[in-house]
Structure 1
Amino acid sequence: MTDGIVWLVDLDGWMSSVVFARGISPEELAVRMGADPGGATEPITDAEVWQLGITQWRSAEYGDGVVRVGRSGDWSFALEYGDSTGGDLLVELSRDGVEVVRYVPPQEHPPADFHYARDGVFVCGHGLREEVWRWGSEPDLLLPDLVAAGILSSDGSTFLPPEDEDYRTGYRHSLGVVERRFGLSLSPAVLKDARLPAYAVRGTPRMTLSP
């Protein structure tokens, strides 16, 4: 694996998230996220997802959520689109000994977020450039890695990089810690150019490409 995941920081205007899962197949990951077994589309690209009639927001109800799934190294992954379910289901996704990592890019404002669950437990999470605030059953799991990377003081209470550091630089440092700790990698070509099966995980998207 050579691409890593730090490059995700530089994606402008990409409003989806990425879920990585170790210990289950890509299809099982989609099913745990709400898909029907065997309900995949033909393999499609990132651009073609938006031809599926996705409505992201509806008044007083959930919007549509779609994932494209695949595998990279030891990890299955799901690229989330629309009103997907990854943020709601991390504990469920990780049941039966599975490990799950989710990266949420900044939406209307920073920060981006990292979440990690294992075997039915939300283990740890933090905002990128907000690593002094950590949560989960083991909030300090990554503290030694963050200290070694020069992001936090040894007790985890002080943010070390200069205040005027560009936020993307800080994001790269922090996401690099996650990348190395869990051995994550995803080729940039997967996001836009690769053809991957897609599944509906919430709502009622059309799930066939418009003409």
Structure 2
Amino acid sequence: MLTADISDAVGDTGGSGIQWLAHWDGWFVSLTFARGIAPEELAARLGALPGIRPGPLGASDAWSMAGETVDGDGVARVGRWGGWSFAVEHGMPSGAERLAEVSWGGVEAVHLDPQPDHPPRQFAYARDGELLCCFGLGEECWRGGHQPDLLLPELVAAKILLPDGACARPEDEPWEERDRLTLAVLESRFALALPRHLVEDAPLPAFVTCTR
């Protein structure tokens, strides 16, 4: 079991928070966070195939393995940071489809999907088996889930939305800064943090996940 916080193994290099994602040209992986379960259980809830443990993998090796899996499978590298288990999903991510399942039993789950081919980037939050809130970064005025206004107070306080839910940002604002503002809200509300080196190159326990 992965019981120790991964920070004990690799050390904190100062990469706190998630706002750095807004300016990272290499954000092509989906990220799933879960609070209340261990990393191995997160992998299982994402559809990890039993008995397939390729060993600790960095991002490059995970991408290579994802390219070799059958259509519909991906590779998830997992760990724990700041009280959350996390999965870096390469290839076909299952976090978006399985987020409610990930959150069964009182677990909280957050999914961030970069959508490089079909912007905007996506956020979703589930708790106790229910998708509560989701929206695209930069499109917060169109919110879904069973509690679509869950983050409305924070988005209004950050001057991203108006109290009626309409967009409050200038149309010519650079999209990187626009995304950073929303990531800052998510970072603060859920206490999310994931240093860049863990996503990019740290060898992490890996699992092949089935998205079907």
TM-score category of the 2 structures, normalised to the smaller one: 0.7 to 0.9
Does the 8 Å CA contact 1:55/1:64 hold for their aligned counterparts?
no
- The equivalent residue for 2:127 is 118
Alignment deviations for residues 21-67 of structure 1 (CA, whole Å, 9 cap, x no partner) = 000000000011111456432211111112325258x7xxx432110
- The equivalent residue for 1:51 is 64
Counterpart CA distance in 2 for 1:106 and 1:160 is 23
Counterpart CA distance in 2 for 1:118 and 1:53 is 29
After TM superposition, give the deviation of residue 9 of structure 1 in Å: 1.8
- The equivalent residue for 2:180 is 172
- The equivalent residue for 2:20 is 7
Does the 8 Å CA contact 1:54/1:64 hold for their aligned counterparts?
no
1:74 is aligned to 2:83: yes
Aligned AA (2:187): E
Counterpart CA distance in 2 for 1:129 and 1:48 is 32
Structure 2: runs of 5 or more not aligned: 1-13
Relative to structure 1, is the Cα distance of residues 15 and 53 closer, same or farther in structure 2, using a 3 angstrom cutoff?
A: closer
Structure 1: runs of 5 or more not aligned: 204-211
The alignment partner of 1:52 has SS state of helix
Does the 8 Å CA contact 1:68/1:196 hold for their aligned counterparts?
yes
- The equivalent residue for 2:209 is 201
Does the 8 Å CA contact 2:113/2:121 hold for their aligned counterparts?
yes
Relative to structure 1, is the Cα distance of residues 130 and 53 closer, same or farther in structure 2, using a 3 angstrom cutoff?
A: closer
Q: Give the alignment of 1:1-211 within 5 angstroms.
A: 3-37=16-50, 39-52=52-65, 54-55=67-68, 62-156=71-165, 158-202=166-210
Aligned length: 198
- The equivalent residue for 1:206 is none
Relative to structure 1, is the Cα distance of residues 139 and 41 closer, same or farther in structure 2, using a 3 angstrom cutoff?
A: same
Alignment deviations for residues 112-158 of structure 1 (CA, whole Å, 9 cap, x no partner) = 110000000000011111011011110000000000000011121x2
Counterpart CA distance in 2 for 1:194 and 1:123 is 32
Counterpart CA distance in 2 for 1:71 and 1:172 is 23
Does the 8 Å CA contact 2:63/2:91 hold for their aligned counterparts?
no
After TM superposition, give the deviation of residue 13 of structure 1 in Å: 4.4
Counterpart CA distance in 2 for 1:64 and 1:46 is 16
Structure 1 vs Structure 2 CA RMSD:
1.8
**Percent pairwise identity:** 49
Does the 8 Å CA contact 1:17/1:79 hold for their aligned counterparts?
yes
Q: TM-score, normalised by structure 2?
A: 0.87
Counterpart CA distance in 2 for 1:50 and 1:131 is 31
Q: TM-score, normalised by structure 1?
A: 0.88
Counterpart CA distance in 1 for 2:53 and 2:107 is 22
